[in-house]
Amino acid sequence: MLSKRLKPVRLFLALGEFVRMACTASPLNSIRVPATVPSEASHEIDLDFLGLAFEQASFARYAQDDRGSVNAFSTNLMDAIYSRTGGKPNIRLGGTSPDYGRYLPGQTQPALPVAEQDNYQDIGHTTIGPAYWNLTKNFPNAVYIIQVPLATTNISEPVAWAQSAVDIIGLDKIFSIQPGNEGDLYTNTFTGVDGIPLHPPQYQGNMNNETYVGNWTKYVSAIKDAVPGVPSGRYFTAFDTANQYDFAVERCFDLGIDADGVVKEVSAHYYQGQAGTAATLGSVLMNLTITHAHLDQFKVRIDWLRTNQPEIPFVLNEVGNSLQPKNTYEYQARLGSALWQVDFYLYSVAIGVARINYQQIMPYENSKPKRIVVVNMNYWNQTSSTEARGSVKLSFEVPKDVARLTVYHLNSPLGAGAAADTITYGGSQWTYDSLGKEIKNVQQDTEVLAVADGAASVTVASSEAVLVWL
């Protein structure tokens, strides 16, 4: 049945090898799939669009198990992702704690204090040693964004981080070096864990456009001068702001942040807000209006770069569905959260975000359409919704040479509030018990639909996403 309060269903066509477009469909709509790349399609998207991000100290937990061996669960999950995208992991190592951290060449542990479930960062006390950079070798196909401290006024600290990273990881595996993390949040009175003072004179205070550009370029120059082999060109990530209105891109470029041609990308962070509860999963996290309105605020930066610095992309290199020192699983780790993430990626692609590092869509291959993603963000949860689960039926008019559609579902019979144990994609699961390897045929919901008279109909349930292969 169809709810009378149905929201629009978000439909994305991934075009070209990596070009995307988007449109909105209403229930029972007929959608004509363009046979060639349309003029309104987005810019080409890199195969490495889907990146990853780890708070500095917590990376040790993902890279190795309790015995100090390679974490098979992490490596298998990465293989499952990138074997499908055709790209490679672009991993950002950063956060607030390393911005105020120290590199200790004599430390034998990768990172101290050890990150725990409800204590993933210890701002003001974090230290790393050479063994930390060795952890990157556990993911040999990955490249890394290496964040180095900008918050400290001791300029030898970021040089030590950069030098040790280059020596151990290797220049070919370092995608970029990023001085600082959310410099727009530095304050003259900032304190860390247990009230440790992290403000002037030992640390940076409030920054504006001028002081940020002055400090960022000073630290970049120091790294280039002190670390042999660091490329002279575009090798550094800039901005990395918490608030999209701080450190105005146009003004900072006018002030000379890229006077030496070193900026590789302009970055920012995104969180939907504070973690809610199961009761607000649908109204806040799965709310298309909130998500798209927040993302639209980045268009000023994206559009300015496209016009004035087209060789420099805009990326979101730290993204999460919410902020919460302790986990709120009924909000952060449910099917509704996964659906939000699908829509977030797709809409980001549509507005021109070049990569997302997270805490695919219908390509035209050889100018022909190959895949379609449909996300039904109408909230339905088995334990709280009073209506039967709704759905939309979409009729796709496809090119003449398409004889059938294969439909893969991201779904759970329990709806948006479902935990991982009942969620499947394409009928499969990737669990900790399987060490991240695919368990097939958990659900038998993949469909092969015949095309009749140039069209085929696909039904998408409320709180579900589907990937349609042509």
Single out the residue of 360, 379, 351 nearest to residue 292, CA to CA.
351
CB 103, CB 162: distance < 8 Å: no
Burial (0-12, 13-18, 19+ Cβ within 10 Å), 250: middle
Domains of the chain: 9-33+371-469 (2.60.40), 50-358 (3.20.20.80)
Residues 6+ apart with CB under 8 A from 441: 427, 428
Cβ 160 vs Cβ 145: under 8 Å: no
Tokens 């977030």 belong to: 344
d(CA 184, CA 209): 9
Amino acid at 198: L
Token pair of 433, please?
């018990």
Alpha helices, H only, 147-208: 156-169
Residues 6+ apart with CB under 8 A from 263: 234, 236, 237, 238, 257, 309, 312
CB 90 within 8 Å of CB 139 = no
Handedness of CA 291, 267, 37, 342 (dihedral sign): negative
Return d(Cα 332, Cα 32) in angstroms, integer.
Answer: 35
- Distance separating alpha carbons of residues 374 and 459, to the nearest angstrom: 10
CA gap 26, 380 in Å, rounded: 17
Nearest to 147 by CA among 114, 108, 167, 174: 174
Q: What is the pLDDT of residue 333?
A: 87
User: Which residue ranges in the chain fall short of pLDDT 50?
Assistant: 1-8, 13-28, 360, 362-363
Listed in order, strand segments (DSSP E) in 109-210 are 111-112, 127-128, 143-148, 174-179
Sequence-ordered list of residues with C-beta below 8 angstroms from that of 416, at least 6 positions apart, any chain: 281, 282, 286, 334, 335, 336, 339, 379, 380, 381, 463
Q: Which token pair is 237?
A: 């990530």
Residue of 354, 449, 343 lying closest to 394 (CA atoms)? 449
Q: Could you report the per-residue pLDDT of 192-230, keeping only the tens digit for each? A: 988 999 999 999 999 999 999 999 999 999 999 999 999
Could you read off the pLDDT of 328-343 as tens digits, one per residue? Answer: 888 888 999 999 999 9
Q: Which amino acid is at 332?
A: Q
**pLDDT on residue 365:** 54
pLDDT of residue 37: 73
